[in-house]
Structure 1
Amino acid sequence: MCWTHRSRRPTLDDVKTRIALAAFAPVVWGSTYVVTTELLPAGHPLFAGLLRALPAGLIALAITRTLPTGAWWARAAALGVLNIGLFFPFLFIAAERLPGGVAATLGAAQPLVVALLAVGLLKESPSAWRFAWGVVGVVGVGLVVLGPAAGFDVIGVLAGLGGAATMALGVTLTKKWGRPANVGPTAFAGWQLTAGGLFLAPVTFLFEGPPPAIDLAAAIGYLWLGGVGGLLAYVLWFRAITTLPVTSVSMLGLLSPMSAALLGVVVLGQTLDALQLTGFALALAAIVAGQRPAPVLAKGALQ
């Protein structure tokens, strides 16, 4: 296990703290579905992504006053486009065109993609353990959030799969390249949020035209998505990726649809039946198992 930006080997308590802080990000991201459908103006997914990224990125840069140097200009741009610039539109398009459950289940495939990319890009050994638990996680999420009325709009499905693929690649490359020495997680997140926001700006106005009217409810929604779900969540998320195993961090992403389901119960008055509760237990088991090392197998077996 590789740890960066620390002078000593982290203790078990250090690891638990980092996992808990990393888990905050997907829990908050689970609110995206409720906020998008209940507070934001419909038909402007790109604008929602732009407001979530660019202001937060510029605030981070103003706080840290740290810019990329050398090869990191290109790397920050690439990571910003993958993790933010492409992922945000895919996320909001899926949230608008699909029931939240369908969008969440498609997004839950991300750990499986990360597990495969880690073999090719990070030269990690194939992990049957993590891949199997990734499948269990997708099944669990599907049981929780998919219902008989689930719709499968083609554009929405493609957006959901595209979001899972682009963020999986972005997460894996973030782990591969690490974080520059003497650059903190706030500056690192700021680079990516700004790069993603700058990528989104012309695309947004080209495809969606002028910004929509923003009432008080929409303003609250954008502030939540940009401040808590954007700047704060991504600082913790990118810090986790550079200091924890990438496949473990990606499994935490399953918390997002679980959080969305719980918000549906609390905010929208939805209920969970026995099958959904079973799925909840499976997803939580997959998340916990994903944070643990694979068991020692017989020599020559996949680990």
Structure 2
Amino acid sequence: MSSSVKTLKTPKTLPARPARNSEKPAARRRALPLAAVTALAAFAPLVWGTTYLVTTDFLPAGHPLFAGLARALPAGLVALALGRALPKGVWLFRAATLGLLNIGFFFPLLFISAEHLPGGVAATLGAAQPLVVVFLAVAVLKERLLFWRLAWAVTGAAGVGFVVLGRSAGMDVLGVAAGLAGTASMALGIVLTKKWGRPAGVRPIAMVGWQLTAGGLFLLPVTLLVEGFPPVFDARSVGGYLWLGLVGGLLAYALWFWAIGRLPVTRASLLGFLSPLMAATLGVLLKGESFGPLQTLGLVLAFGAMLLGQLGGGRPGGRPGGGQSGGGRPGGRLPRPAA
């Protein structure tokens, strides 16, 4: 009897060990401050701001579809190899949808806009994205339309307009239509990325691979039908495609989608103002352009809206990444698989 009692007592100390181990992943996730997540997210729009300069100065003109294909498909295949996961079930549809919105539609529309408009005008159309995200967040994520969100989005877009638009800015109907359509496509992709999150156990690099590959596979037959064979390459164009694909595609999108899962969607979208500001800065540094009083005012407004937009609207004590669950309830959380 005494020996049987002893065997029953020993298991009582076992459950304590898994409990301590299970807390470590959550502690590691909480260890990264919101400011650090925001700084990593800002890398993406800063790199995307170089797209206009690279498109006009490095890539062969008249091939926007091939530029989108070259930026998407090779980087997507590399990301698939690194992520080592393929979409299953409902994620087959979700990955294809996000791939079309964020890549397949957005990339060629971006390059069409960049070819048909001055870089400043094209960048200003992209600055309207936070405005679109504000309203889509209400419709798709069931968030409340808060005045501060709308105010910062309007202020930032106006500031970007002051910075990059000048008297010599030219308008082209096709370029404007492509720029606005691309902005709307990417905005919807951002909101759906926030709504759906990531499947359990899938790393951000795998999600990027799904979207880049889906968008690239969509563009492959369209490019061959519309533009025919690829243009003639030289060292300059190869360098441009590599920059857009590996840095502006693979690396930037991996950080961007990772950060969207941890930042409020409107706060993340306000970082998009960095892209046209980077485009304008490169014009000053590399093309001899200059800032007048109006451009300086716009720079202050855009940076102020972006920075102040990072300070307000968060839930007290909330963790980075509080977004919407599959049900779209305000204050819900995205699933947080280990990276």
TM bracket, shorter-chain basis: over 0.9
Deviations 1:24-74 (A, max 9, x none): 000000000000000000000110010100000000111121111110011
Q: Quick one: which amino acid aligns to residue 80 of structure 2? A: L
Partner of 1:252: 271
Provide the residue aligned with 2:197 in structure 1. Answer: 178
Query: What is the count of residue pairs matched by the alignment?
Result: 291
* Cα displacement (A) at 1:241: 1.1
Deviation at 1:277, TM superposition (A): 1.1
Shift of 1:9: 9.1
Map 1:185-224 to 2 at 5 A: 185-224=204-243
Structure 1 residue aligned with 2:184 = 165
Q: Where does residue 324 of structure 2 map in the other structure?
A: none
* Unpaired stretches in structure 2, ≥5 consecutive residues: 1-24, 316-339
Using the alignment, how far apart are the partners of 2:218 and 2:264 within structure 1?
29
* Cα distance, 1:287 vs structure 2: 0.6
Which residue pairs with 1:138 in the alignment?
Answer: 157
Shift of 1:12: 8.4
Name the TM-score, length of structure 1 as normaliser: 0.93
Q: Tell me, yes or no, if structure 1 residue 84 matches structure 2 residue 103.
A: yes
1:110 aligns with 2:129: yes
**Residue 94 of structure 1, CA deviation:** 0.4
What RMSD in Å do the two structures reach over aligned CA positions? Answer: 1.5
Supply the distance in 1 between the matched residues of 2:269 and 2:238 (Cα, whole angstroms): 30
Cα distance in 2 for partners of 1:58, 1:281 equals 40
Equivalent position of 1:75 in the other structure: 94
On the 8 A contact 2:264/2:314 being kept in 1, the answer is no
- Cα shift at 1:294: 3.5
* Shift in Å, 1:168: 0.4
Of 221, 234, 239, the match for 2:258: 239
In the TM superposition, what are the counterparts of 1:3-18 in structure 2 within 5 Å?
7-8=26-27, 14-18=33-37
Letter in 2 for 1:253: G
1:240 Cα offset (Å) = 1.0
Tell me the CA shift for residue 282 of structure 1. 0.4
Counterpart Cα distance in 1 of 2:82 and 2:30? 30
Q: Percent identity?
A: 63
- Whole-Å Cα distance in 2 between the matches of residues 205 and 292 of structure 1? 47
Return the alpha-carbon distance in structure 1 between the equivalents of residues 151 and 28 of structure 2.
29
Mapped pair 1:21 → 2:29: no
- Does 2:69 correspond to 1:57? no
Q: TM-score, normalised by structure 2?
A: 0.84
2:85 is aligned with 1:66 = yes
Does the alignment pair 1:100 with 2:119?
yes
How far is 1:270 from its partner?
1.3
Letter of the 1:212 counterpart: P
